[in-house]
Amino acid sequence: MHLRTTISLTVLALASAAWLPSAFTQNPTPPAPDAPQAPAGGAVTVGPSAVTTPFPPVNPADFTAASPTKETVEAFLHAYWGYDSSRVWQVQAILPTPAEGVSRVLILVKSGGGAKDQTAQLSFFTLPDGKFLVADSLLPFGAKPFESYRQILQAGASGPSQGGTSKALEIVEFSDFECPHCKEAQPTIAKLLADYPSVHFVYQDFPLTQVHSEALKASTHGYCVAKAGGNEAFFKFADAVFANQAGLTPTTSDATLKDAETKAGQDPVKIAACSTTAAAKDAIQASLALGAKVGVNSTPTIYINGRGIPANGIPYEMLQKIVEYQAKLDGVPLPPAAPAPPAKPAPSLR
């Protein structure tokens, strides 16, 4: 669904690196030759796999912008893509534009590691303050591109929480009770918290009132459940609402919410009265404002120490890599999750 319920391909590519962004001025180039070729004047800069990649030679004349430096661009790409050992890249050019202080960055990238894989060219623009880039949306930039969002969320994410008490590694989810993709994401969130029990998880309301008629009501009721019963009651309520999401309609939402409140051990009459107060409405508006401040444009979106990614549609193994890599970037000790148990062999037909 449009209107914040899908996330752009550019954000997917830079945030999760599971896809290449079509909106990043992606221009396929001919397949690379079979034999690796080092560029004139030095080795190719590649991703963390540290293998030589047959990218074309870099021309020093293509690095004429005053900023950012090639080192800053490399640090940025490592921050975004470093967890994916199959992805390799080369900064091809950093050029000035007619707009003062705005530079165009060109990157060649391939994923999968095969010499015959198609190479894509990505292009984006960096802004004069060196803190953001522009493709088809505004994204944080720099050697530590997620740090400012991390600080904003550590200070402002005050929704119901669970998991570890330390915010050293914090996952913040912006979600809408009426959003089907948010319902689909809940098992993924639950598995993440089970695999990484030290993670501090915060739920933030982000009701999409333009497309979901009952989302704001569900959010205010959830706020009041948390206020009355604490975190444990809220997550019981949330589980019940998502389980019966089909009941969030103009004619049945009251009954659906009452049922969820009862399952959470709360008095539906008191919760309903609380939900119409200015405090409840202001809390949801504050959560919406917080999401807007860190660039939320879809639900569900999770932020892993400030790194925003969609919470559904990404293979779980890739999500694990992102969590563990972000922890490593931020110097947070995080034991890797236990590997999945091996599949049981099929029973013999004999």
61 and 133 inside one domain = yes
242 and 311 inside one domain = yes
Residues of the domain holding 18: 9-142
Mean pLDDT across 142-159: 96
Rounded to two decimals, what is the model's pTM? 0.75
288 and 202 inside one domain = yes
199 and 269 inside one domain = yes
Q: Does residue 169 fall inside a structural domain? A: yes
Name which of 86-95, 120-129, 134-143 the model is least confident about: 134-143
| Three-state secondary structure of the chain | CCCCCCCCHHHHHHHCCCCCCCCCCCEECCCCCCCCCCCCCCCCCCCCCCCCCCCCCCCHHHECCCCCCHHHHHHHHHHHHCCCCCEEEEEEEEEECCCCCCEEEEEEEEECCCCCCCCEEEEEEECCCCCEEECCCEEECCCCCCHHHHHHHHHHCCCCEEECCCCCCEEEEEECCCCHHHHHHHHHHHHHHHHCCCCEEEEEECCCCCCCCCHHHHHHHHHHHHHHHHHHHHHHHHHHHHHCHHHCCCCCHHHHHHHHHHHCCCCHHHHHHHHCCHHHHHHHHHHHHHHHHCCCCCCCEEEECCEEEECCCCCHHHHHHHHHHHHHHCCCCCCCCCCCCCCCCCCCCC
| Per-residue model confidence as pLDDT tens digits over 293-318 | 998 988 999 999 999 998 888 899 99
Q: Does residue 121 fall inside a structural domain? A: yes
| Per-residue model confidence as pLDDT tens digits over 258-295 | 999 999 999 999 999 999 999 999 999 999 999 999 98
Which of 94, 117, 142 is at the close of a domain?
A: 142
pLDDT at 278: 98
Q: Does residue 349 fall inside a structural domain? A: no
177 and 250 inside one domain = yes
pLDDT at 99: 85
Q: What is the mean pLDDT of the chain?
A: 83
CATH number at residue 212: 3.40.30.10
Q: Does residue 323 fall inside a structural domain? A: yes
313 and 290 inside one domain = yes
133 and 159 inside one domain = no
pLDDT at 55: 82
302 and 260 inside one domain = yes
Q: Does residue 347 fall inside a structural domain? A: no
Q: Does residue 212 fall inside a structural domain? A: yes
92 and 161 inside one domain = no
154 and 303 inside one domain = yes
Mean pLDDT across 312-335: 92
Which of 121, 142, 163 is at the close of a domain?
A: 142
Mean pLDDT across 202-218: 95
29 and 154 inside one domain = no
pLDDT at 341: 63
Q: Does residue 346 fall inside a structural domain? A: no
Q: How many domains does the chain have?
A: 2
Q: Does residue 3 fall inside a structural domain? A: no
- Residue 260 burial by Cβ neighbours in a 10 Å radius (0-12, 13-18, 19+): buried
114 and 155 inside one domain = no
Give me the percent of the chain exceeding a pLDDT of 90. 64
